[in-house]
Amino acid sequence: MSSEGFLKEMQTIGEKFLLKLQKLPKADPVEIVSFCVVLLFIATVLLLMIIACSCCCYSCCSCDGRPDNRRRKIQVRPAAH
């Protein structure tokens, strides 16, 4: 997908989302609850991604930004006879 197509698709999704938000005060209670559940799911996924990325970065680097050399794998070579 080209970048122009991606941007157009994101704009379309944004417009649909804005239209949904504008119609939300007049919506049924079931529709409001389902919309909130979808938003909660999206927020949860984003939060879990942020936590996973921060844990990955923390395990690779120490707090001062230098890599942790204790976790580096050492390659073992066969002994020469």
Instruction: Give pTM, 2 decimals.
Output: 0.54
Helices (H), 3-64: 3-23, 29-60
Identify whether 44 is part of a domain: yes
- The whole-number pLDDT of residue 35 equals 87
Instruction: Please state, in angstroms and rounded to a whole number, the distance separating the CA atoms of residues 24 and 18.
Output: 10
User: What is the pLDDT, as a whole number, of residue 66?
Assistant: 58
Question: Residue 39's closest CA among 51, 29, 50, 31?
Answer: 31
Would 49 be classed as within a structural domain? yes
Does a structural domain hold residue 10? Answer: no
> What is the per-residue pLDDT for 68?
53
52, part of any domain: yes
Q: Confirm whether 39 is domain-assigned.
A: yes
How far is Cα 75 from Cα 65, in angstroms, rounded to an integer?
24
pLDDT number for residue 42: 92
* Per-residue pLDDT tens digits of the chain, which is 81 residues long: 688 899 999 999 999 988 988 988 888 999 889 989 998 999 999 999 999 888 777 666 655 555 555 555 667 777 776
Residue reference for tokens 């999206």: 42
